[in-house]
Chain A
């Protein structure tokens, strides 16, 4: 187990270093000087040069790369060119919106998608199966940001039940903060629930074909008990894989939903930072995101072992 962990951690470090190098090189060859962008067209060459020195942009590229990676290792993500505050603080603030949003959306998607998928698989080619598949097709086809807009139309503008956007911050109290996340969570969760329903359905159907299902039924176990005690656990492996992939996508991929609901999340920070040539924020965010993906994949691997003991020995 220890050697497995060590190997995984080494792989993790290599992946992150490779990501950092790729991002650095790509942003390095980009036209556009952050200092000049921030100061605008009226800046004199002297002030631009002074700002470049302040940001450390006048150092040779290899040295800047080493300094940056060294900073990352010690938790120093540098200072944002645009906001003039530590990037770590910026990302920390945005994570307070993005993480609850992503967690709640994936939870809702799981609570809706997995039972629906099993329900459909328990009686294939029935009316309920057809109903679930129609839901899944609709969920896949509706763009999440349009669902967001429709939800705002119905529940904010029409019924006045919930705010149409913005985030008051957790300091404003749990109620208002949660209320502002309800609609974005539903919009984000719907397509994910559709995907999960489809994956669960096909995984359940596949597991139902196995010999041990017939054995369980033959020894007198009821259909429902077979489904929950035997089939579900076997069907969960592909579902867990999908959950891992989807969750990491949601953390950084919610740019448009965050825009629809004016939420100050990671996606919007990224979008603004790119627009403002705040290169240091972009670089840090990509690495932070890569770290999240790698860690989530690692957790998914561990989850495999819990869901399916057979995979423990192989690992």
Chain B
């Protein structure tokens, strides 16, 4: 039985956008039409042309080159912050589930609620201000908000899996709790975690853009989409496209990964699909 692609338009479109972005970001590591940080003041604030496809900024830097390198930046921050949150959150959630109802479980879940109750942007801004701006600290600040998301998901999924017969059988066979968690519980919730990771990735891209807009993320002269938008504000009267392209790049990336996440969720959990249709 083949996979009916036409039944999953969101998945196909989202997957295509995500793949294209990764290709562009990868290309940006080895080749860009111009050096993205090279200053060329005579060429400043040009509109789109055959030479500079999307024009140049206030320092004469090529927008295409900066968008390409910015893509790599965004994807890097998104990937690392979600990976950190995924690993830490899943470990925490699975651990809490193995001691369901204990004081530890309660403490982990209440801390989760506490972190989730605060607006991510505000706390991330505070954190980055405190530990200093920069891509690495932005990754850390965004990861902090991914931990409770994955901890909560992993805990509820682990609790469900733990009540199944094969876990009982594994325990009767003398497996340790750690072995059971790794060999039986993790594989059974991997699908859910991957879906959530895709959605969180889209959120992380937005968060990174916001942080670098405020000057707290990737530091100049390294290009980042958020900072490009900030710099474009000064020239909006005369050069509106400077404010249009980076925003469109952010929106397209978030759209792609959201569509991919929704599509994957439909595949992994057909029940959610029925509820959504």
Contacts and interface: CB of A to CB of B under 8 A. Distances in A.
Interface of A: 18, 26, 30, 124-125, 137-138, 140-143, 145-146, 149-150, 152-153, 157, 201-202, 205-206, 248-249, 252-253, 255-256, 259-260, 267, 270-271, 274-275, 282, 289-290, 293, 297
B206 interface: yes
Contacts of B259: 137
Interface string B104-125: 0000000000100111111001
A110 to B, nearest CB: 19
Nearest to A138: B255
Query: In this complex, which of B206, B214, B258 has the most chain A Cβ atoms within 10 angstroms of its Cβ?
Result: B206
B276 A205 contact: yes
Given A143-B247, A146-B247, A274-B126, A157 B209 contact: no
A24 to B, nearest CB: 14
B38 interface: no
A252 B240 contact: no
Given A146-B251, A253-B119, A270 B277 contact: no
Given A141-B258, A255-B125, 9 more contacts: A30-B130, A140-B254, A143-B250, A143-B254, A149-B233, A149-B236, A150-B244, A256-B213, A274-B129
B258 to A, nearest CB: 6
B243 interface: yes
Interface in B207-258: 209-210, 213-214, 229, 232-233, 236-237, 240, 243-244, 247, 250-252, 254-255, 258
A249 B120 CA distance: 8
B275 interface: yes
Nearest to A149: B243
A197 B213 CA distance: 28
Given A153-B236, A260-B233, A145 B210 contact: yes
A15 B113 CA distance: 11
12 contacts: A26-B130, A138-B255, A143-B254, A146-B229, A149-B233, A149-B247, A152-B236, A153-B240, A153-B244, A248-B117, A259-B213, A259-B214
A154 B232 CA distance: 15
Nearest to A271: B125
Nearest to B249: A146
Contact of B122 (A142, A150, A206, A253): A253
Contacts of A275: 129
Closest 7 CB pairs of A and B: A146-B247, A253-B119, A141-B255, A141-B254, A249-B119, A274-B129, A252-B122
Contacts of A150: 243-244, 247
A83 B214 CA distance: 22
Contact of B275 (A26, A153, A205, A274): A205
A267 B121 CA distance: 10
A275 B254 CA distance: 29
Nearest to B256: A141
Contacts of A297: 117
Contact of B119 (A152, A252, A259): A252
Given A253-B119, A274-B126, A153 B209 contact: no
Contacts of A206: 275
Q: Is the interface of B mostly helix, strand, loop or mixed?
A: helix
Given A152-B236, A275-B129, A255 B121 contact: yes
Contact of B126 (A18, A260, A282, A290): A282
A249 B277 CA distance: 29
Contact of B117 (A124, A205, A293): A293
A140 B250 CA distance: 11
Given A141-B251, A255-B214, A157 B236 contact: yes
Given A124-B277, A145-B229, A153 B243 contact: yes
A125 B7 CA distance: 12
A140 B213 CA distance: 18
Interface in B130-154: 130
Query: In this complex, which of B119, B206, B254 has the most chain A Cβ atoms within 10 angstroms of its Cβ?
Result: B119
Contacts of B237: 157
Contacts of B277: 124-125, 205
A143 B214 CA distance: 14
A149 B229 contact: yes
A130 B241 CA distance: 30
Contacts of A293: 117-118
A293 B45 CA distance: 45
Nearest to A246: B119
B275 A202 contact: yes
A293 B244 CA distance: 35
Contacts of B258: 137, 140-141
B233 to A, nearest CB: 7
Given A143-B210, A202-B276, A267 B122 contact: yes
Nearest to B209: A143
B206 A256 contact: no
A251 B244 CA distance: 27
B137 to A, nearest CB: 14
Contacts of B244: 150, 153
A52 B163 CA distance: 59
B122 A146 contact: no
A197 to B, nearest CB: 13
Contact of A142 (B118, B210, B251): B251
Interface string B249-276: 0111011001100000000000000011
A293 B247 CA distance: 31
